[in-house]
Amino acid sequence: MAEGDLTLKVQRFDPTADKLPYWQSFTVKPRPGMTVLDALFEVLNHQDGTLSFRFCCRAGVCGSCAMVIGGKVRLACETQVAQFVGKGDLMLSPLPHQPVVKDLAVDYTHFFDRLKKVKPYLVGKEPYPEKEYIQSTKERQPINDPIDCILCGSCTSSCTMAWTNSDYLGPAALLKSYRFLADTRDSVPDERLDIIEGESGVWRCHTQFNCVEVCPKKLNPTEAIQKMKIKAFKRKLFGRRGTKK
């Protein structure tokens, strides 16, 4: 290993062949501007063709390459390797507490099941407009942030409550719910609150802030969940009319 090289310690696991995962080391030579995803390609192309990881856009938009990089969940395509050179081995493992398909690729089925529960789509108001719903800048402001979610699964994977309670909707689904709840064009806020106000909805959040720490888009799911807690509680106190816009 030459000076300035980086050793990647990758968690390898093939469910059809291995009983337990194991670490495998690869050495790559960092180039300027090299991302962790680039380093993984270096390994895949020149050292071990059996390494599996998920990727798509390579630009931090698709949310496919989220993994644990050096103890923190990040997007491989947005993380520069230069910051890890000279600090020991760089450990790479798949998203925590998710079923592993192979090596660094995890099964997102449960994650998307959770998302489906919160009706992640706009239910329009009648009468439907001919062209589009008109929104003022002020009306659009609350959803400016939550609309940026790329569904990479980082937050829900790093939330311990979402890990141990499979009913819990998790930060990503709750942020999505908030995104439509705060949307002035949406017409079913009561229905959305019904879904999220159960014990496995917002009340499972114990403000751990892991989701805020890991979000690659710097979103704040905890704040969204807290706002929904207040909305749900106000509705409980003052009845359904309290939440009507």
Partner 1 sequence: MSEQRVATSKVAGTWAWAFQRISAVLLIVFLGVHLYAAHFMDVGAETGEEPLITFDEVSLRLDQLLYIVVDYGMLSMVLLHGLNGFRTVLFDFDMFVRRKKLIDVTLWVVGIGTLIWGIVILFPFISGAGG
Partner 2 sequence: MKISSFKWLFGRNSEFWPTNMKTGMWAWVGHRLTGLALVAYVFLHLSFISTASMAEGGADFDALMETTSQPLFVAMDFLLVIVVIYHAMNGLRVVLFDLGVGIRRQKLVFWVTMAISAVLIVGGLLAIWHLVFPEGVA
Binding residues for partner 1, per CB under 8 A? 109-110, 113, 117, 160-161, 164-167, 169, 194-195, 197-201, 203-204, 206, 229, 232-233, 236
- The one-character DSSP state at 31 is P
Distances (CA, A) of 213 to 8, 63, 149, 190, 209: 23, 16, 14, 30, 6
User: Min. distance of Cβ 227 from partner 2 in angstroms?
Assistant: 7
Measured CA to CA, the distance from residue 23 to residue 151 in angstroms comes to: 28
User: Min. distance of Cβ 106 from partner 2 in angstroms?
Assistant: 10
Burial class (CB in 10 A: 0-12, 13-18, 19+), 17: exposed
- The one-character DSSP state at 27 is E
The item of partner 1, partner 2, none sharing an interface with residue 91, based on CB under 5 to 8 Å by kind, is partner 2
User: Reduced to 3 states, what is the DSSP secondary structure of residue 26?
Assistant: strand
The item of partner 1, partner 2, none sharing an interface with residue 113, based on CB under 5 to 8 Å by kind, is partner 1
Binding residues for partner 2, per CB under 8 A? 11, 13, 15, 20-21, 68, 70-73, 91-93, 96-100, 158, 160, 206-210, 212-213, 220, 222-223, 226-227, 229-230
Q: Using the minimum distance from each CB to partner 1, give the nearer residue, 112 or 133.
A: 112
The item of partner 2, partner 1, none sharing an interface with residue 223, based on CB under 5 to 8 Å by kind, is partner 2
User: Min. distance of Cβ 178 from partner 2 in angstroms?
Assistant: 13
The item of partner 1, partner 2, none sharing an interface with residue 147, based on CB under 5 to 8 Å by kind, is none
Closest CA to 215 of 168, 163, 171: 171
